[in-house]
Chain A
Amino acid sequence: MERDLALIIPEIIVLLTGVVALVAEMLRLPRIALTVTVTGLLLATGMTLPLLGADTSIFGGTFRIDMLSVWAKLILLPATVLSVLLARTELGGSDREGTVYSLVCFVTLGSLVLAGAGDSMLLVLGILLSGLGSFALVAYPRNDSATEAAMKFFVFAAVTGAIMIFGLSYWFGGTGSTLLSDLSRLEEKPVVAAVGLIAVIVGLGYKASLVPFHFWAPDAYEGAPVSIAAYLSVVPKIGAILALTQVVRDLPMSTGWPLVIAVVSVITMTYGYLAALVQDNIVRLLAYSSVAQAGYFLIGIVAVGASPLAFTSIIVFSAAYAAMNLGAFAVVMHAGRTLDVFSGIGRKNIAIGVAMVVFLLSLAGIPPLAGFVGKFLLFGASIEAGFTWLAVIAILNSVLSLAVYLRIIVPMYQQPIITASGSAPIPLVKWVLGITFTFTLGIGLAAQVLLGRLA
């Protein structure tokens, strides 16, 4: 028991951080709440470092301390810190500011539970924990659009969550256990395996915004504050993707799950980019882009068990995605939500322009940026797993993605339509931009730093 607890110190710290932040907010001390949150999350990140290389499970196999869950902490905790800094900029001084930090901690905790889930009940717990906080975060502005978005989000989550629990009950019946590691017993029960798999894809797919369970995402992102949208598009999504990875690694190949995931992947990325092509609101555009990026994650999941590159590629792409997506949202937070305000922005503020171009080209997968390395590894994994056609479709989608991101880049260097203020971003945003920019370039150029630790 002591050993088990020692291995989840980072999670415990995150939980305590959330509680303390909440207490600070109750005492009307939002600055303290902020400080506690940032310190706590960074401390948890630091406490994760000794776990690097661990590969074990705790509490009777229900929670896994492996490559996926350790790297999930190393990626999601700093990403949460950056989101909190953005939230401070956007929501600082508003009512109930401290609750945002507290809720963010709980949602991150839920995402971490998902990423290390070794038991179907932990999947449910993770979904609920990250879901409940998310609804509240989306509804934070207390206006009609935010409330509507949160309501949609909630209804969607309730339905998909119910479906997932229903499907998981089949797996429980089929294996006689809720442990994911016992899923190998489903070898002889294809129907049971299929029902459970579809239900899990529905449940986790909503969280990761896979098509066709993505409908909530653009509305929720649009209604929510930009910093919350940035957070939701990164942390819970990566958590759900890693949870799906944990599930399929134990699922027998004979159930045909790789093909199912591959099909969902193709639909998700193609639909995501096609829908992004017609958006005029940048938050919605980025929302659809993050839907499409979820499809790219699935390419790596398809290769789980068949290619040694699979886990590596998923983790590298997670880190890359977190950096570039947060960066792009940070620019949107600084500039504004419509395409019009982006016209001419690259001429007025060179640094912002360069940063945005780098984030977007990285999202499109142009070398030598982070997104390229991630996608390159994903493609390699899928080809090695025998899914060359999937890599081909993904590559064709990269062209579509370029068209999407150029819709933002092109006007940035045209004559401005609206004379938006060419003001420099405030220091906190500058910090976030600086860090995400460094990682977007750094993961691209110095991928070895990551790869060496993943090998």
Chain B
Amino acid sequence: MLPIVSITLFLPLLGALLVMTLRKAPVQVVHTIGIVTSGLTLMGVVRMWSRGVNETGFAQLEQLDWMPSIGAAYRVGVDGISLPLVLLTALLFFVTFIYSAKVRKQSHAFVALMLLLETASIGVFTALDAILFYVFFEVSLVAMYFMIAEWGHEDRQRAALMFFIYTFLGSLPLLLAILGLYLGSDPHTFDMRDWISNPPLNGTAAMLALVAMLITFAVKTPVFPFHTWLPAAHVQAPAAGSVILAGVMLKFGTYGLVRFAFQMTPDAFRDAGIVILVFGVVAALYGAFAALAQSDLKRLVAYTSVNHMGYIIIGVAIAALATDPAIRATALDGSVLQMVSHGLVTGALFLLVGMLQDRANTREMDQFGGLLNVIPILGWSFVLAAFASLGLPGLAHFPAEFQIFLATLQVEPVAVIAILGIVITAGLYLRAIGKVFLGEPREKWTNMADLNVREVLALSPLLILIVAVGVVPAWVLDVIHKTTAALQF
């Protein structure tokens, strides 16, 4: 059997090394390497998808001794929670490489960094060893820092610095929690499977570890009041960086919430369930209201991310509070699917905003108007993605949010006030569409070019999947449900 997970994981890194050795290669070659490598990676993930997951535990395990003296090993594998996220990651990187083929500034470094980031991102979702997980978690941070600092917009240095220090500070409590779990496990090991099947800590120690992990993942997700780095980073990041940041890296937080906090300190998580739920509700509402106040299209999308991440937190908290395994599975199914949907939808939205900015050099909504007639493909794509983002039935977010709220109603009906967030996002997206794409076309934009072939190629996989997940969510949900239904909690 081919070690397909490891191959998929390290393929982008090999691509990065290749790009670094071909220092004299022309720009087109470099971008081709990027596209081909990420395409092959995507094929690897598709192969992983076809191998599927188990009802119990992790599938497609691959391991190798690394530091046996301290119980750390190279262990990778997937389950129903991580596999959809791996697919999402590979897909988003692929389309981002296609979209970014126009980058001319330091394109060698750009492609190499993006490929490094891809390995780190896939690594976060496939690692089954806590040290390995932490390594990938931090490497992604370094790569994203350079991405924003080098290819970002006007105020990129400050935003990159803020992003790096903020999220680095955020990730350190996780290190403490990992050490605590390690010292609590007997015999000492960093094997995440052991920690999940046999939670090493209990009582106060477990609660402290949980708090540490929650801080880390709250910063990463981000949850109000730890979200302040997000709008700054998004506004300054290049479009490619924004797509990866929102589409993939925010999921590190929610994935960690499930994988670490929920699964490794289950009792403490249940005790703290209500508090976590409140944070989720506040994040959902705050994100929606903050988005409402934005005039910059990119900031608007960034804040709706805070809103959508809030729903995921609500779902995980409800899963912890639920006593009926069926309801718990429903809540988790919804949360994991929401991660995938958000990646697809927000990825598409950031690409579209990036494309609009390429043309107009501004993202202020008031500057636009009537663009639907001028650039119909971009316009209608945005309308589709925006409707998906506000949770329209038949599009990606609906089945996810539906399940989350269904479970919430059965467990903690009060929390359903978060549904208000959907109403607000609906309002703000309709307003944004109205301002930018409807009304009288403005004089200065009449010559704006519509999407070219490359942009359509980058965008269409996401739009197709948004509809596919919305109409027939079963193909993703079945994979997720296999794991969530069998979850011991």
Contact = CB atoms under 8 A, between A and B. Distances in A.
A447 interface: yes
B202 interface: no
B438 interface: no
A9 B131 CA distance: 40
B237 to A, nearest CB: 16
B164 A413 contact: no
B176 A410 contact: no
Contact of A451 (B69, B164, B175): B69
A413 B145 CA distance: 12
Interface stretch (B60-68, B257-265, B454-462): B60-68
A379 B175 contact: yes
A402 interface: yes
A395 B142 contact: no
B69 A452 contact: yes
A395 B182 CA distance: 17
Given A366-B142, A451-B70, A380 B182 contact: yes
B262 to A, nearest CB: 23
Interface stretch (B83-91, B133-141, B365-373): B133-141
A448 B66 contact: yes
Interface string B104-138: 00000000000000000000000000010011001
Given A395-B175, A399-B169, A383 B183 contact: yes
B179 A391 contact: yes
A348 to B, nearest CB: 13
A455 interface: yes
Give the dominant DSSP class at A's interface.
Answer: helix
Contacts of A398: 168, 172
Interface in A366-394: 366-368, 372, 376-377, 379-380, 383-384, 388, 391-392
Given A448-B65, A451-B67, A367 B168 contact: no
Interface size class of B (residues with CB under 8 A): 20 to 34
Task: Tell which of A350, A395, A454 has the most Cβ of chain B within 10 Å.
Answer: A395
Interface in B159-197: 161, 164-165, 168-169, 172-173, 175-176, 179-180, 182-183
Contacts of A455: 69
B54 interface: no
A448 B68 contact: yes
B450 interface: no
A392 B134 contact: no
Contacts of B364: none
B157 interface: yes
A254 interface: no
Nearest to A384: B183
A383 B180 contact: yes
A366 B67 contact: no
A441 B169 CA distance: 23
Contact of A454 (B66, B68, B69, B138): B69
A403 to B, nearest CB: 6
A389 to B, nearest CB: 11
Contact of A391 (B142, B146, B176): B176
Contacts of A372: 135, 138
Contact of A380 (B138, B172, B179): B179
A414 interface: yes
Interface string A272-295: 000000000000000000000000
B149 interface: yes
A340 B131 CA distance: 37
Given A413-B149, A413-B150, A448-B69, A402 B142 contact: no
Contacts of A253: none
Contact of B183 (A380, A395, A451, A454): A380
Interface in A348-378: 350, 361, 366-368, 372, 376-377
Nearest to B141: A366
Contacts of A451: 67, 69-70
Interface in A269-317: 309
Given A366-B138, A413-B149, A414-B157, A402 B164 contact: yes
Given A361-B142, A366-B138, A368-B139, A447 B67 contact: yes
A398 B322 CA distance: 39
Contacts of B135: 367-368, 372
Most chain A beta-carbon neighbours within 10 Å: one of B23, B68, B150, B176: B176
A22 B236 CA distance: 59
Contacts of B134: 367
Contacts of A384: 183
A384 B183 CA distance: 7
Interface string A436-452: 00000000000110011
A410 B158 CA distance: 10
B67 A410 contact: no
26 contacts: A309-B70, A350-B23, A361-B142, A366-B139, A366-B141, A372-B135, A372-B138, A376-B179, A379-B175, A379-B176, A380-B183, A391-B179, A395-B172, A395-B175, A398-B168, A399-B169, A402-B164, A402-B165, A406-B164, A406-B165, A413-B146, A413-B150, A448-B66, A448-B68, A448-B69, A451-B67
Given A368-B139, A380-B183, 4 more contacts: A367-B131, A367-B134, A402-B164, A447-B67
Sorted nearest first, the 8 A-B pairs with minimum C-beta distance are A451-B69, A367-B135, A395-B172, A368-B135, A399-B169, A448-B67, A455-B69, A367-B138
